[in-house]
Chains A and B, each alone.
Chain A
Amino acid sequence: MIRFILPCALGLSALSPAHAEKLPIFDAHIHYSHDAVLSVPPTEIVEILRKAGVRKALVSSSDDRGTQLLLEAAPDIIVPALRPYSRRGQTGTWMHDPATIDYLEDKFSKFEYEAIGEFHAYGDDIKTDVIQAMIGMAKDRNLILHHHGDREALDLIFDTWPEARVLWAHSGFEDPDDISDALNTYPTLWADLAYRSEMASYGTLYEGWKALFLAHPDRFMVGTDTFAPERWHYVGPHADFSRSWFEDLPDDVARKIAYENAETMLAAK
């Protein structure tokens, strides 16, 4: 953190080549849910994103209305994803509710999406009829699956649909070795780093994480995870935090994690 504070405080920003241009960000894990819609208007959201240097954002929202509002306000930034439930409180139950299927079909009949998610599912949850049907819908439409869950669930997703493009939310909250194993196992798996800050301290990457990023430079992306409405005000600080540890990577790898990998994932249809 201090590495990105001090240069500003000391007026040194123009002296460092890495700071010469503010690296744009593809924020691959962001929500604009029903409560955020009530608290932060779309115009303010768009202003926050632009000010933070976020050029694209994969947005999913509990009840989806927020995603559509943002898409209307900033179609150049917003990449819409469909969350399969309308309230965050359903994260542990939605896969047992047959109404989920109707909900998804209704949304697909009205709007276009690039992904389904972020959805929470662990272990055998993937075998439920609801999730199997949901994966089928994603397959029919060639959509990315933005999955929040464990390795067992991840394996079952790829068992169900081996060619799936999966974005593993929070990199499964796994450690670098286990993330690496998953990435080696599945060539169409990408991993977001939302809500994870343990990879770096004051702009310096820890050894294991740096090795991971260098071994898999094409597979990671960052995300703010605005799980509470107030956290929209964290989009800027989060982008700056990411830029601080990007400086500890070769420029091309930093650029990939900042935005290129997400764009590649979207294009890999």
Chain B
Amino acid sequence: MRLLLLLKQAVLLAGASTATQADILLSDAEIAQTLQHGPWPQVAQTDPSNRFSGNPNAIALGQTLFHETSLSLSGDLSCATCHQPEQDFTDGRARGLGKALLKRNTQSLWNMDQFRWFGWSGDTDSLWAQSITPLFHSDEMAHSPQSLHGLMLGHATREQIETLTGPLDTVSPEENAANLGKIIAAYVETQRSGQTSFDRFRDALAVDDLATAANYPKDAQRGLQLFLGEGRCSFCHSGPNFSNSEFHDAGVPYFLAEGGVDEGRHAGILALQSSPFTLNSAYSDDPEKTGAWAVRNVRFNHANFGMFRVPSLRRVMHTAPYMHDGSLPDIAAVLDHYNTIDMERLHSDGEAILRPLNMSQDQLDDLAAFLATLSDDG
């Protein structure tokens, strides 16, 4: 009797196992590709170029400064005016609005420690340098290094800042700007998105826990298969952060409504080359100049004109509208863009992986279902 019971249990378990495997649609090759998109979250590492990175006092002060409208010359703009924490650090607008309409969509600030280049055009190579950029942009905070230095000498946070940086009146205006950028960056880099249902699926696959993996919805699995295969999305949206952190022509027009064009990476390289605030500069706190090889080796390329950095897809469902100019209002529009991409906009020897996807509506729905599982971390 006891033997019969054990045999019955074995049969039931074997049946359950077969049913679970049937619930996983991915091939072994697709599973191997899926594992490349994790683990998540990545282990947080401090930024060696920013001596305030990971410093709790700097993080707290950075959060204060992030919301500080007095950092703008007009006194009414802060970082949080555009990068609104309650809106996933975006503003919901197609293009940002500072003192005037800006050229580009306000990007989210999640997981910034995962990028090599910052901003749509990669005009900076560190988060602290990127944090300085709006302080001096004429249509944003509109300061000069000198006016910002003067402001901070009389600012309510001066004592807190000096606790970190030493006396403000002994540093140059440029060093003051670098210090402020680093304190703000110390806060921003702590904004990391959480584990999503995709990550739980991926981690379960990593340990052959098919029972847990089977909880991942079928439509999301089909969407993931399209993302990895037919859609070729993972060529650019690669790795745990779903971005290769580099620049591509996605076939999106880049004329500006007010005239001229947004030169994208072309302008980014020019700005990078003329910036005093790079990882290769004296303002980097890293004696090893880790990561400075990139700015030292960046080369100009005709294809750069009109290229923009590949955005991360983490929490993507919460960061509409999309593309560098916010011209696509929702995910459906983005998928339609790639489904019917205008090849006439692309050079025949340029972005070789792009071509119209010609997917059915069911396939597009599956892709959207997959993307939603990169955004459900609460």
- Please tell me if the beta carbons of A195 and B255 are within 8 angstroms of each other in the complex: no
A168 to chain B, nearest CB (A): 13
Cross-interface CB contact of A241 among B253, B300, B303, B347, cutoff 8 Å: B300
Interface residues of B in 285-300 (CB under 8 A from A): 299-300
Q: How many B residues are at the interface, by size bracket? A: 20 to 34
Q: Point out the residues of chain A lying under 8 angstroms from B347, CB to CB.
A: 195, 225, 227-228
Q: Point out the residues of chain B lying under 8 angstroms from A173, CB to CB.
A: 349
B350 to chain A, nearest CB (A): 8
Contact with B along A226-241 (1 / 0, CB 8 A): 0111110110011001
A107 in the interface (beta carbon within 8 A):
no
Q: How far is the CA of A126 from the CA of B345 in the complex (A)?
A: 26
A65 to chain B, nearest CB (A): 15
Known contacts A197-B302, A230-B254; A89 and B348 CB within 8 A of each other: no
CB closest chain-A residue, reference B255: A230
- Please tell me if the beta carbons of A1 and B255 are within 8 angstroms of each other in the complex: no
Among all A-B residue pairs, the 8 with the closest Cβ atoms: A88-B344, A1-B300, A233-B261, A230-B261, A234-B305, A197-B302, A197-B301, A227-B347
B274 in the interface (beta carbon within 8 A):
yes
Known contacts A5-B270, A39-B255, A195-B349; A201 and B302 CB within 8 A of each other: no
Interface residues of B in 246-272 (CB under 8 A from A): 253-255, 260-261, 263, 266, 269-270
A79 to chain B, nearest CB (A): 22
B343 in the interface (beta carbon within 8 A):
yes
A94 to chain B, nearest CB (A): 13
A170 in the interface (beta carbon within 8 A):
yes
B306 in the interface (beta carbon within 8 A):
yes
- Please tell me if the beta carbons of A1 and B302 are within 8 angstroms of each other in the complex: no
B273 in the interface (beta carbon within 8 A):
yes
Q: Point out the residues of chain B lying under 8 angstroms from A201, CB to CB.
A: 299-300
Known contacts A5-B274, A195-B349, A228-B306; A89 and B300 CB within 8 A of each other: no
Can you identify 5 A-B contacts, CB atoms within 8 angstroms?
A148-B348, A197-B301, A230-B253, A231-B305, A241-B300
Q: How far is the CA of A87 from the CA of B344 in the complex (A)?
A: 8
Interface residues of A in 39-56 (CB under 8 A from B): 39
Q: Point out the residues of chain A lying under 8 angstroms from B260, CB to CB.
A: 233
- Please tell me if the beta carbons of A238 and B302 are within 8 angstroms of each other in the complex: yes
Residues of B within 8 A of A (CB): 253-255, 260-261, 263, 266, 269-270, 273-274, 299-303, 305-306, 343-350
Q: Point out the residues of chain B lying under 8 angstroms from A12, CB to CB.
A: none
Q: How many A residues are at the interface, by size bracket? A: 20 to 34
CB closest chain-B residue, reference A230: B261
- Please tell me if the beta carbons of B344 and A195 are within 8 angstroms of each other in the complex: no
CB closest chain-B residue, reference A2: B273
Q: How far is the CA of A82 from the CA of B300 in the complex (A)?
A: 31
Q: Point out the residues of chain A lying under 8 angstroms from B254, CB to CB.
A: 230
Q: Point out the residues of chain A lying under 8 angstroms from B350, CB to CB.
A: 195
B305 to chain A, nearest CB (A): 5
- Please tell me if the beta carbons of A91 and B255 are within 8 angstroms of each other in the complex: no
A176 to chain B, nearest CB (A): 17
Q: Point out the residues of chain A lying under 8 angstroms from B263, CB to CB.
A: 233-234
- Please tell me if the beta carbons of B305 and A89 are within 8 angstroms of each other in the complex: no
Q: Point out the residues of chain A lying under 8 angstroms from B305, CB to CB.
A: 230-231, 234, 237
Q: How far is the CA of A148 from the CA of B347 in the complex (A)?
A: 12
B249 to chain A, nearest CB (A): 8
Known contacts A35-B344, A201-B300, A230-B261; A1 and B306 CB within 8 A of each other: no
Contact with B along A188-215 (1 / 0, CB 8 A): 0000000111100110000000000000
- Please tell me if the beta carbons of A89 and B306 are within 8 angstroms of each other in the complex: no
- Please tell me if the beta carbons of A91 and B348 are within 8 angstroms of each other in the complex: yes
Q: Point out the residues of chain A lying under 8 angstroms from B270, CB to CB.
A: 1, 5
Cross-interface CB contact of A195 among B253, B274, B303, cutoff 8 Å: B303
CB closest chain-B residue, reference A193: B302
Q: Point out the residues of chain A lying under 8 angstroms from B343, CB to CB.
A: 88-89
Q: How far is the CA of A3 from the CA of B302 in the complex (A)?
A: 16
A146 in the interface (beta carbon within 8 A):
no
A28 to chain B, nearest CB (A): 15
- Please tell me if the beta carbons of A229 and B255 are within 8 angstroms of each other in the complex: yes
Q: How far is the CA of A31 from the CA of B274 in the complex (A)?
A: 32
Q: Point out the residues of chain B lying under 8 angstroms from A195, CB to CB.
A: 302-303, 347, 349-350
